[in-house]
Structure 1
Amino acid sequence: MDSTPLRVALVDDDPDFSRLIALRLKRGAGVPCKTTAFASGAAFVDALNGEAAFDLVFLDVVMPEMGGLDVLRHVQERRPDLPVVMVSAQSSIPVALEAIESGAQDYLVKGDDALDRVPVLARAAADRLALVSQIDALRQRLGDRAVAPEIVGESPEMAKVLRLVSQAVRGDLAIAVVGESGSGKELVARAVHRGSARARGPFVVLNCGAIPAELMESELFGHEKGAFTGAIARHAGVFEQANGGTLFLDEIGELDARLQAKLLRVLQDQTIRRVGGREAFQVDVRIVSATHRDLQAMVASGEFREDLFYRLVQFVIPVPPLRDRGLDVLLLAERFLKAVTARYPDLNARQFSPSARKALLRYGWPGNVRELKSAVERAALVASGVNVGAGDLRLGRSLMGEARTPAEHATHAGAESEIVPFEELKRLALEHALQICEGQIEKTAEALGITRSTVYRLLKKYEIEA
């Protein structure tokens, strides 16, 4: 692990507890730590506004003049990526929920148990820093041109993708980018091209699933004038257009058997013949293909040629679905929100409310990054104020004006004859009310006709994060 010390801010008006945390970090963190104590929230905010930089903050909730939650809101505005752990002498579920909703990473109650958690939190912060450093190093190794600026992510999954891209650019092997629709396969293909020796050449894209089968041969290899009805001039196919560069064949699994054979022949000898033409000529093209389908299963079933499979799949780059990328969802959402407000100046500034951030992290994103981009752009346009709420995102069925109620969830849970347990109905009702009330406990309690304490009890029982 990097020997650079973890910079930890201890913000507490109780100097004794700050010293205890510093001692635990020194003795048990397992990573070098440099601690700086602040006796007030205002002093820490002044330091943060100046030249001071930190990697982790332990922040007391109750302090004179400027309380911990006020300091947390300031940190979220200035350094939303800075991990903050709230510390309090009292165990208060409402305060803890408010702290977490406002962006705190964790909430500790002062005592021996809290001190035992301190080294664990420090190691987690150090691991995250090491991962970010690794990603930055990979980007630098690839060079400024290598990675498309749209590739955003600090998760371990995206670190693996960047590592594979850095390896793929070294040679000229055929690359297969695999992943679900909307996960960003074309961005990865562009990154490979920009980081390779072919970066000065063209990057040409062909979606094999978007072209009718009868036109695909002409799109791939071109045609001569008069080759068929409507061929009023010579047309260069994508292989000819990509000569000296990279050809990205998206949805390669949609190619029919006849064209699979023709493509194999071109890949074997790097020569093409236009439709209606007599002369073959050489091309110099690197192939990057992509698919959301299981090509190996297609080979086994006879839908895809085995020899073509091995020609195309020399080096594989799996792209993870958005649901597996953790906090990358928020990084991408912030990027998209900033872009849409820049494109439409009348929108002014926009920011995600705590309930929206929670909704973004909870949702499964079946459409991946493409769906996230659409949801954020739509939410920015429909939001009535500065804050973009969870309802503005209109995730899932609510996009079509068909928000599913708990009863509908139960009805659609399985076969019509399936009986949904009563406890499951209660859990669904609570989750639905929380979403409608944007996570506000008091409003949720009123809407359900129960007390706030009952809401808190049910949240704990069903392990729901409010």
Structure 2
Amino acid sequence: MRGTILLLETDGYDLTDLHDAFVIETAGTWRVLRVQCEDELATADDGEPEHRVAILPRPLDDTSDGGKLRTSITQLQEIMPETPIVVVAPQGDVDVARHAIQCGAADFLVLGARLGPRISTLMGKLDRLLRVIDRNRQLDENNARLRAELQERFTIIGRSPQIKQLLDRIHRIASVPRPVLIVGERGTGKESVARAIHYAAGDTARPLVTVNCAAFNDSLLESELFGHEKGAFTGAESQRRGKFEQADGGTLFLDEIGHMSPAFQQKILRVVEYGVLSRVGGSEEQSIRVRIIAATNRNLQERIAQGEFLADLYDRLAFETIELPPLRKRKGDIAVLAQHFLDRFAAEEATFAGKEFSAASLAALRRYSFPGNVRELKNIVERAAYRDTTNEITPSDLALPIDEELRGAAGSFRAKVDSFSRRLLEDALTASGGNQAAAARHLGLSYHQFRYYAKKLEPEGMG
């Protein structure tokens, strides 16, 4: 069976003839169901059919601009994002075609005589559309498999849309041997992303060399990166290859590149631009082929405006730019990450085996803002595992710092309630991957109640 056609019953419409026409025209290749409400629509799929098509009557009391139709389509897309929607309207509705397409429907159908031929034409269009959906679904499955491989190998853990997009981006740019700039707050996992980009390219034999630019002054950093000849300076008793040479044919990861002085940035710019360098104390130029991945937690655009970072170097490093989201912007990943770290510690330390988080401790973690991001979460979990004297980690074991956001909270009781409610909405949106209908169910609200509070409180993640 090809799939299911769902006829959404609406006041003022008798869909009996339409139902019978679909049954006749599809000749048993589609199951045709009449459903009464959104809840039935969301659960009508029994898992067997591969596809669903929703047939939505245009509200008889729709406004001239199609506002009610737009609302209905938006709600259906929240419930069934991959389901094509066909709008039906009474005979004589001259605006249905324009409103249906503008509101995001796949097609439209006007009721009346001779439904059979029109349904046959419609099903031909839908069949082509569903083939495209099939191809996209296959791509999504392939991307999901690749994301899982990256997550397992490089601990880029999470189920949030941001992490899925990040993993997809890593795969897209890995095979392009051009510079990448990774931007993110401290502890967001910039080095893990750099390693994932390098190894996702496929050739594991290529070198990956890492340098923390903040750990050296200019003179030491020059020797570290470019190498030196024997006698180049006091203590240079032998020739030494620098990190650029060591990374030849592979990747050089320059962490905290925002700490370099503008004068030293000029030397890096020459290597990036021309692919040549000279060792300290040497005059002979060497050609190298290195992919540079740079990372910083500083705002380089601001530093350019202040004259502290070269715009030319930025332009060359930012061939591809990846911005890593802070953990507080993907709260739905916190429990997954915490469990991952606890499992890893249990594998390393037998005394941690069998420990688990209490519901209260997971709630406390979700409320915390994590200024130190993933690295801070890892440290908190490890410390809690050592502190816990039972097999259940409690909020007291976590010993979370007082959140600055809460410490500085001020205003009326109503403002504080709104702030807390906004965080509940944001947590639900994160946990549901941005699906508003699922977020509403998570909070025990109807879809309309959720939309009311979302419009009032404007939580992040509404898209």
Change over 3 Å in CA distance of 1:254–1:32 after alignment to 2? farther
Matched, 1:392 2:397: yes
SS in 2 for 1:253: helix
Aligned to 1:28: 41
Matched, 1:157 2:162: yes
Q: 2:210 aligns with which of 201, 205, 208?
A: 205
Change over 3 Å in CA distance of 1:32–1:273 after alignment to 2? farther
Aligned to 1:123: 79
TM-score by length of structure 2 reads 0.60
Gaps of 5+ in 2: 6-34, 49-74, 84-133, 421-456, 458-463
Whether contact under 8 Å (1:3, 1:32) holds in the other structure is no
Give, in whole Å, the separation in 2 of the partners of 1:150 and 1:242: 24
Q: Deviations over 1:341-377 (max 9, x none)?
A: 1211023311000110101111101000000000000
Cα distance, 1:33 vs. partner?
2.3
Matched, 1:240 2:241: no
TM-score by length of structure 1 reads 0.60
Gaps of 5+ in 1: 6-21, 37-118, 399-403, 415-419, 431-462
Letter in 2 for 1:310: D
Letter in 1 for 2:399: R
Give, in whole Å, the separation in 1 of the partners of 2:154 and 2:411: 48
Aligned to 2:387: 382
SS in 2 for 1:327: helix
SS in 1 for 2:254: strand
Give, in whole Å, the separation in 1 of the partners of 2:391 and 2:256: 40
Letter in 2 for 1:212: N
Aligned to 1:335: 340
Give, in whole Å, the separation in 1 of the partners of 2:369 and 2:4: 37
Map 1:260-275 onto structure 2 (within 5 A): 260-275=265-280
Whether contact under 8 Å (2:154, 2:195) holds in the other structure is no
Q: Deviations over 1:391-411 (max 9, x none)?
A: 11111259xxxxx9xxxx99x
Give, in whole Å, the separation in 2 of the partners of 1:143 and 1:327: 17
Whether contact under 8 Å (2:150, 2:167) holds in the other structure is no
Aligned to 2:326: 321
Q: Deviations over 1:210-246 (max 9, x none)?
A: 2223201011111122211122222221111111111
Q: 1:413 aligns with which of 390, 408, 415?
A: 408
Give, in whole Å, the separation in 2 of the partners of 1:218 and 1:338: 41
SS in 1 for 2:354: coil
Cα distance, 1:136 vs. partner?
5.7
Q: Deviations over 1:399-429 (max 9, x none)?
A: xxxxx9xxxx99x639xxxxx66859998xx
Whether contact under 8 Å (1:206, 1:248) holds in the other structure is yes
Aligned to 1:218: 223
SS in 2 for 1:316: strand
Aligned to 2:304: 299
Q: Deviations over 1:108-160 (max 9, x none)?
A: xxxxxxxxxxx999938999xx9999876325357947973311111011111
SS in 1 for 2:206: coil
Q: 1:175 aligns with which of 156, 173, 180?
A: 180
Letter in 1 for 2:366: L
SS in 2 for 1:243: coil
Aligned to 2:192: 187
SS in 1 for 2:321: strand
Matched, 1:373 2:378: yes
Cα distance, 1:25 vs. partner?
6.7
Give, in whole Å, the separation in 1 of the partners of 2:137 and 2:400: 30
Change over 3 Å in CA distance of 1:322–1:142 after alignment to 2? closer
Give, in whole Å, the separation in 1 of the partners of 2:183 and 2:4: 37
SS in 2 for 1:335: helix
Whether contact under 8 Å (1:25, 1:122) holds in the other structure is no
Q: Deviations over 1:415-464 (max 9, x none)?
A: xxxxx66859998xx9xxxxxxxxxxxxxxxxxxxxxxxxxxxxxxxx9x
Whether contact under 8 Å (2:338, 2:378) holds in the other structure is yes
Letter in 2 for 1:201: R
Aligned to 1:54: none
Q: Deviations over 1:5-53 (max 9, x none)?
A: 9xxxxxxxxxxxxxxxx97577422x752289xxxxxxxxxxxxxxxxx
Number of residues paired by the alignment? 315
Aligned to 1:289: 294
Q: Larger radius of gyration, structure 1 or 2?
A: 2
Q: Which region of structure 1 is more displaced relative to structure 2, 329-338 or 278-287?
A: 278-287
Letter in 2 for 1:160: Q
Superposition RMSD in Å: 3.9
Whether contact under 8 Å (2:180, 2:322) holds in the other structure is yes
Matched, 1:346 2:351: yes
